[in-house]
Amino acid sequence: WVIGRGSYAKVLLVRLKRTDRIYAMKVVKKELVNDDEDIDWVQTEKHV
């Protein structure tokens, strides 16, 4: 289930099978991450 979309990514509703807990997972479009600034942004997003 897609619960949101942006220019760099989409957010999916996911369920962890072993615990049955629900999470939001951001999926970044790899082809749009081209330079160091983009990589810094992705690293920052990963820690949010």
**From the annotation, which residues make up the binding site for ATP?**
30
Cβ–Cβ contacts within 10 Å for residue 33, how many? Answer: 13
Annotated binding residues, written as ranges, equal 30
Q: Where are the beta strands (DSSP E) in the chain?
A: 2-5, 9-15, 22-28
